[in-house]
């Protein structure tokens, strides 16, 4: 039964990309703004960790993430996963009351570096 559930989960992941689309509203009458921004960072880290811990399908090397950040969904731009915290900090400095984050999980494949490229790297040094 457990084997069937794992296969079903992998099939669902392949058919429907797992997505976190959220507009974070940073307003609360009692909680300080700094704590709200820390909560957003925690939510992003928790989501990424949960997705990375899921079992990989056969032939996949790692889970990769496509990310978007913007003030609104229409204005969002593609950013790297490691740059999300910097954008959240920037939103805090600008005093934004809301912003949009989208994280899409996809399969990642390692690229093999050819031997000729390795030789060229050593020749330059």
Q: How many residues does the chain have?
A: 125
Burial class of residue 71 in the structure, from the number of CB atoms within 10 Å of its CB (0-12 exposed, 13-18 middle, 19+ buried): middle
Neighbours of 38 (CB within 10 A): 13
**Cβ-Cβ contacts under 8 Å for 75 (sequence gap 6 or more):** 100
Q: What string of pLDDT tens digits covers the 125 residues of the chain?
A: 555 656 666 555 555 567 889 999 999 999 999 999 999 999 999 999 999 999 998 889 999 999 999 999 999 999 999 999 999 999 999 999 999 999 999 989 888 876 666 556 555 55
CA distance 73 to 70: 6
Q: Which residue has the tokens 């296969």?
A: 7
Q: Output the pTM of the full model.
A: 0.74
């Amino acid at each position: 039964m457990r084997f069937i559930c794992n296969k079903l989960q992998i099939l669902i992941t392949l058919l429907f990309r797992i997505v976190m689309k959220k507009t974070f509203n940073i307003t609360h009458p009692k909680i300080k703004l700094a704590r709200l921004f820390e909560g957003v960072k925690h939510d992003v880290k928790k989501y990424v960790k949960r997705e990375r811990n899921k079992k990989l399908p056969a032939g996949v090397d790692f889970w990769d993430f496509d990310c978007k950040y913007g003030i609104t969904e229409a204005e969002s731009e593609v950013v790297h996963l490691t740059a999300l915290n910097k954008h959240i900090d920037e939103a805090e400095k600008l005093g934004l009351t809301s912003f949009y984050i989208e994280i899409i999980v996809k399969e990642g494949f390692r690229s093999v570096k050819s031997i000729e490229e390795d030789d060229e790297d050593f020749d330059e040094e």
